[in-house]
Structure 1
Amino acid sequence: MEDFRDADLSNQRWEGRHFEQADFTDADMRGLVTKGCTFDHCDFTRVDLGESKHATSAFRSCTFERTNLMHSEFRGCSLLGATFHECRFRPWQVTDTDLTLASLGAANFRALTLAGLRFREANLTGADLRECDLSGSDLTGARLMEAKLSDADLRGARMDANGLRQATLTGAKVDIDMAIAFAAAHGLQVGD
C-alpha cells in the first residue's frame, strides 16, 4: 500500500509501473502520461486526471469517485471492474478499452464516441448515452435499466434481450440483426 494522498503528480510520465492498493485521494494527476502501467484496487477519489493520457495501462478494480476525467485519453486500456461515481467525463476519449464489469451507473456520456468498447456485464443503470457512437461495442450482459440510448449509434453492437428491453432506444440507429433481436426481445415473432 502506498500513500499518494494530496500529492502533486501532474505532468509526470510513468512507464511499466505497478501500484497495488495505492491511495491517490485528492492528488493532482493532471496531464499524467502512463504507458503499460498497472493499478490494482487503487483509490482515485477526487483526483484530477484531466488531460491525462493512458496507453495499454490497466486500472483493475479501482475506485473513481468525483474524479475529473475531462479531456483524458485511454487507448488500449483495461478498466476491468472499476467503479465510477459522480465523475466528470465529457469530453473523454476512449478507444479499444475494456470496461467489463465496470460500475458506471448514472454516468453522463452524452454524445461521446465509445465505439468498439467492451462493456460486458457493466452496470450502466441510469447512464446517459444519448447520441453516443456505440457502434461495434459489446454490451452483452450489461445492466441497462433506465439507461438512455436515444439517438445512439448501435450498428454492429452486441446487446442481449434484457438490455434491449430495459434501455430507452428511441431514435437509435441499429442494423438488421439488432432490429430482429429487438423485435424478438419484445415478443414479436420474426419470420414465417
Structure 2
Amino acid sequence: MADSGRTAEPQRIVGEDFSDAVLVGQEWVDREFERCDFTDADLGLLRTRRCVFTECTFTRTDFAESRHRASAFRSCRFDRALLRDSTWEECSLLGSSFVQCRLRQWTVRETDLTLVGMGRADLRRADLRGIRFRESNLSEADLRGCDLREADLVGARLLGTKFDEADLRGARLDADGLAHASFAGARVDLGTALAFAEAKGLRVE
C-alpha cells in the first residue's frame, strides 16, 4: 500500500498500489499514473491539473468535493466510486467505464466522454451542456431533466435511456438513438423533432 504521508513523488508512476491511501486535499500537477490501483482510496478534496491517469482502477474510491482541470482519465474503471460534489473541467474520460457509481451532483464542463461506459448511470438533472458522449454506452441511463444543450450523442448506445423532461436543444443524436430512448416532455429543436418523427416511422410532409 502507498504511504499516504509522503510529500515527494515522481512525476510518472506506473503500477503502484494506492489501495486504502488517504490523499485528502492534495494538489497534483503534471503527473502521470499508469495501471495504478486506487481501490478504497480517499481522494476527497483532491485537486488535479494536467494529470494523466491511464488504465487505473478506482474501486469504491472517494472523489467527494475533488476538482479536476485539464486532466485525462483514459480507459480507467470507476466501480462504485463516489463522485458527489466533484467538478471536472476541460477533462477527458475517453474509454473509461462507470459501474454503480454515485454521480448525483457531479459537475462536468467542456469534458470529453467519448466511448465511456455509463450504462444504468443515474445522472438526473445534471448540467451536461456541450458534453461529448460520442460512441458512449448510455443504455438504461437516467438522464431525466438533464441540460444537454449542444451535447454530442452521435453513435451513443441509447437503448432504454431516459431523456424525459431533458433539454436537448442543439444536441446531436442519430436515428438509432432517437428510436430506442424515451423523450417524454423533452425540449428539442425542429430538426431533432423531424428526425425523431422519421425514426419512429412517421411521414413528415
State the identity as a percent. Answer: 54
Find out whether 1:88 has 2:96 as its counterpart.
no
CA radius of gyration, larger in: 2
Find out whether 1:124 has 2:138 as its counterpart.
yes
Find out whether 1:143 has 2:160 as its counterpart.
no
Structure 2 unaligned runs (5+)? 1-14
RMSD: 0.6
Offset at residue 184 of structure 1 (A): 1.4
| TM-score of the pair, normalised by structure 1 | 0.98
CA–CA distance in 2 between the matches of 1:28 and 1:90? 18
Q: Which letter maps to 1:52?
A: S
CA–CA distance in 1 between the matches of 2:32 and 2:117? 23
Question: Which of 116, 125, 132 does residue 111 from structure 1 map onto?
Answer: 125
Find out whether 1:168 has 2:182 as its counterpart.
yes
CA–CA distance in 2 between the matches of 1:153 and 1:71? 22
Offset at residue 180 of structure 1 (A): 1.1
CA–CA distance in 2 between the matches of 1:134 and 1:52? 23
Find out whether 1:154 has 2:180 as its counterpart.
no
**Counterpart in the other structure of 2:59:** 45
CA–CA distance in 2 between the matches of 1:118 and 1:173? 19
Find out whether 1:17 has 2:56 as its counterpart.
no
Counterpart of 2:198 in 1: which secondary structure?
Answer: helix
User: How many matched pairs?
Assistant: 191
Single out whichever of 182-191 and 163-172 deviates more from structure 2: 182-191
